[in-house]
Amino acid sequence: MAHIIAVLNQKGGVGKTTTTINLAAYLAKFGKTVLIVDSDPQGNATSGLGFEKQNDATTYQVLLGLVSPEDATLETAFAGVALMPANTNLAAAEIELMDQSDKENRLKKALVGLQYDYILIDCPPALSLLTVDALVAANWLLVPVQAEYYAMEGLGQLMEVFQRVKQTMNPNLNLLGVLVTMYDKRTSLAEQVVTELQKYFGETVFKTHIPRNVRLAEAPSHGKPISEHDKWSKGARAYKQFSKEVMNRAS
Ligand code: ATP
Ligand code: MG
């Protein structure tokens, strides 16, 4: 069975998509097969892997049962990494599924039986039906947290939603860990954020921190993961190391 990881923090711009793409790329480098499910109407994982957002077989059609997950899965230019793309259509899914009794189970049903070692779900910056669907489908929650002043804000609420889904709809859901992103070791603020996170989350904070690194920010505009854009950059080395930690924890 696949390890299904929901990459979620309802705060915007904390590194969810960057983490999804680069974790996928390194898991594949380590020989794993990986599917990225773009579950964000912004479609950043889709464009970040070099795909146009015009597509009639996306996560939206899969959630509505119009297209099979297999038919909505694209091979990427990066060996071992497949993608279920998304675009702005996906925003309508929340409304269109509103009256469906199985609305929280749509993604789970779609992903059951797919043959991958890892499935990474790139969530939107919201606690919405799309994120609940991701948490119901997943067996792991991965929370990227940006090392900045408001980092802790919202994490309590996120953990409440995680606990509620675990207790009601998905007892198989567990916290894979908290990943510190955009870490700048020259600032004492970044160090304070890590200390705070460790106080709250203990050992579940990943040992690897992702540094703020311009090469990571550039890579999506080339439609590439960092492993292909600049594999010797600090950002690349950090995501490679982080991917090893993920494989150790997931196994
Ligand atoms: P959203 O909530 O909008 O989906 P997100 O949480 O997915 O955002 P990203 O899109 O991954 O966040 O990152 C936000 C921005 O910060 C992007 O422009 C990205 O390229 C940049 N970025 C992410 N991680 C780093 C990093 N470690 N160093 C420098 N820039 C980064
Ligand atoms: Mg994103």
172/36 Cα distance (integer angstroms): 20
What Å distances lie between residue 186 and 11, 34, 183, 213, 229, CA to CA? 24, 35, 9, 13, 25
Q: 84: pLDDT confidence band, cut at 50, 70 and 90?
A: very high
- Residue 144 backbone dihedrals phi, psi, to 5 degrees: -75, 135
**Token code pair at residue 245:** 């930690």
Pocket of ligand 1 (CB under 6 A): 12-18, 40, 42, 44, 125, 181-182, 210, 212-213, 216-217, 220, 235
Give the nearest ligand 1 atom to 18 CA: 11
Place of tokens 């996120």: 158
Considering the chain, what percentage of its residues have pLDDT values greater than 70? 100
pLDDT of residue 1: 82
Helices 234-250 and 16-29: angle between axes, nearest 10 degrees: 70
Q: Which of 235, 173, 247 is nearest to 206 (CA)?
A: 247
Residue nearest (by alpha carbon) to ligand 1 atom 8? 13
- Rg value, the chain, Cα: 17
- The pLDDT-based confidence of 251 (bands split at 50, 70, 90) is confident
**pLDDT for residue 70 is more than 90:** yes
Q: Residue 111: which pLDDT band, with cuts at 50, 70 and 90?
A: very high
Kindly identify the ligand whose nearest atom is closest to the C-alpha of 44: 2
Tracing tokens 């993920």 back to the chain, one arrives at 246
Q: How far is the CA of 212 from the centre of ligand 1 (A)?
A: 10
Q: What is the mean pLDDT of residues 228-250?
A: 98
The number of residues making up the chain comes to: 251
Contacts made by residues 161-170, CB under 8 angstroms, sequence distance 24+: 161/127, 161/131, 161/132, 161/135, 162/135, 165/132, 165/135, 165/136, 169/104, 169/105, 169/132, 169/135, 169/136, 170/108, 170/135, 170/136, 170/138
- The whole-number pLDDT of residue 48 equals 98
Q: Torsion angle of alpha carbons 243, 248, 250, 251, nearest 10°? A: 140
DSSP 80-133: TEEEE---TTHHHHHHHTTT-TTGGGHHHHHHTT---SEEEEE--SS-SHHHHH
The pTM of this model reads 0.98
Return the amino acid letter for 30.
Answer: F
Percent of the residues in the chain that have a pLDDT greater than 90, as a whole number: 94
Centre of ligand 1 to C-alpha 99, Å, is 34
66 Cα to the center of ligand 1, angstroms: 31
User: How confident is the model at residue 113, as a pLDDT?
Assistant: 87
What is the per-residue pLDDT for 149?
A: 84
